[in-house]
Copies of this chain bind each other. A is one copy, B any other.
């Protein structure tokens, strides 16, 4: 279980691979839509299957607070609860504790925080994060870490003195052998710290490595640099997961730099704001120019039967179907970019694909 095999490697260093999980073999690169509260917002699992989704992420922080990880466990785990039969991934809750909760307080042992739902007080430690994730039962689980602001060398360095021991505690706490625990390489925008963090984790021979602390305020150039530093260091035979990314451009730049797994709320969040991914940018369907536009968003959209005029009407009328259909479009859009890249890698033309695609931005 959890073998990862590189099936092709392109001249750029980008690779296709297969990752074996208890719920099926993941073809990489892969984009995972995010099902925060055990639902990819506005999307039925069967529609996700049809869109070609293979991996779904869900959030430990949210499910711990509601309905409670023990409820999910008692209902047969996350797969059964939300009726997603393919591979799943949960994060550790660390990121949300800092970004969503009130009055969080970190110490060497863990984090105390208040729920964003009702202000109630809670505490996460490496051990509790693993226990929660074992209750949830995803195929891939994440080490509990701190996600620091990326540009303060002193703070990021001190943060590693928490994140690294916490990883050891996560490994120690883990009981289930049908879940792959990924370490999360931190280190902000600093080469020395990224390398230090990666080396610490590589020595532990984990089944996969996440790259955390990016897409949190640094520049695109800084993100690309961090990936380039890690690309030659991280082991070839383990999957690499760039957390919380992203846009079509980010996926392409990530794959070019050796990333295998991505996740992001962007496709469903944009959908709820009436916005669709299109090659070269985004289409705001609220605009008056689409009032009588009979064309689909794009001819290859999974919702190409619907006109821009109709989608505009749904968006303006705050109809639920607007979120449903645009979520399908946006998720399908990113999955298609990923599929195109898998094919380009196999045909050793990823650089040409990327150059052409990125020239539209």
Complex Cα–Cα for A325 and B76 (A): 20
A285-296: CB near B (< 8 Å → 1, else 0) gives: 000000110100
- List B contacts of A38 (CB < 8 A): 310, 313
Known contacts A310-B38, A310-B82; is A66 also within 8 Å of B317 by CB? yes
Q: Does A193 contact B (CB under 8 A)?
A: no
Q: Does A43 contact B (CB under 8 A)?
A: yes
24 A–B contact pairs at CB < 8 A? A37-B313, A37-B317, A39-B319, A41-B319, A42-B321, A44-B325, A66-B313, A66-B317, A67-B309, A67-B316, A71-B309, A74-B292, A75-B309, A75-B310, A81-B307, A81-B309, A81-B310, A81-B313, A83-B305, A83-B306, A83-B310, A320-B320, A320-B323, A324-B324
Q: Does A106 contact B (CB under 8 A)?
A: no
Enumerate A312-355 residues with CB–CB distance to B below 8 Å.
Answer: 312-314, 316-317, 319-321, 323-325
- Residue pair B324, A292 in contact (C-beta under 8 Å): no
A161-181: CB near B (< 8 Å → 1, else 0) gives: 000000000000000000000
- List B contacts of A292 (CB < 8 A): 71, 74-75
Known contacts A292-B75, A294-B75; is A67 also within 8 Å of B313 by CB? yes
- Residue pair A324, B44 in contact (C-beta under 8 Å): yes
- Residue pair B67, A324 in contact (C-beta under 8 Å): no
Complex Cα–Cα for A306 and B81 (A): 7
- Residue pair B42, A320 in contact (C-beta under 8 Å): yes
- List B contacts of A44 (CB < 8 A): 321, 324-325
- Residue pair A320, B41 in contact (C-beta under 8 Å): yes
Enumerate A23-70 residues with CB–CB distance to B below 8 Å.
Answer: 37-39, 41-44, 66-67
- List B contacts of A76 (CB < 8 A): 294
A257 to chain B minimum Cβ distance, whole angstroms, is 35
Complex Cα–Cα for A346 and B133 (A): 55
- Residue pair B82, A324 in contact (C-beta under 8 Å): no
- In this complex, how many residues of chain A approach chain B with their Cβ under 8 Å: the count is 35
Known contacts A319-B37, A324-B320; is A291 also within 8 Å of B42 by CB? no
Partner of A39, one of B39, B42, B314: B314
A355 to chain B minimum Cβ distance, whole angstroms, is 37
- List B contacts of A305 (CB < 8 A): 83
Complex Cα–Cα for A324 and B82 (A): 14
- List B contacts of A67 (CB < 8 A): 291, 309, 312-313, 316
Q: Can you name the residue of chain B whose Cβ is closest to the Cβ of A76? A: B294
A75-113: CB near B (< 8 Å → 1, else 0) gives: 110000111000000000000000000000000000000
A201-212: CB near B (< 8 Å → 1, else 0) gives: 000000000000
A18 to chain B minimum Cβ distance, whole angstroms, is 28
Complex Cα–Cα for A324 and B317 (A): 17
Complex Cα–Cα for A81 and B317 (A): 15
- List B contacts of A291 (CB < 8 A): 67, 71
Q: Can you name the residue of chain B whose Cβ is closest to the Cβ of A38? A: B313
Q: Can you name the residue of chain B whose Cβ is closest to the Cβ of A327? A: B320
A132 to chain B minimum Cβ distance, whole angstroms, is 16
Complex Cα–Cα for A82 and B317 (A): 14
Q: Can you name the residue of chain B whose Cβ is closest to the Cβ of A307? A: B75
Enumerate A200-230 residues with CB–CB distance to B below 8 Å.
Answer: none
- List B contacts of A321 (CB < 8 A): 39, 41-44
- List B contacts of A83 (CB < 8 A): 305-306, 310
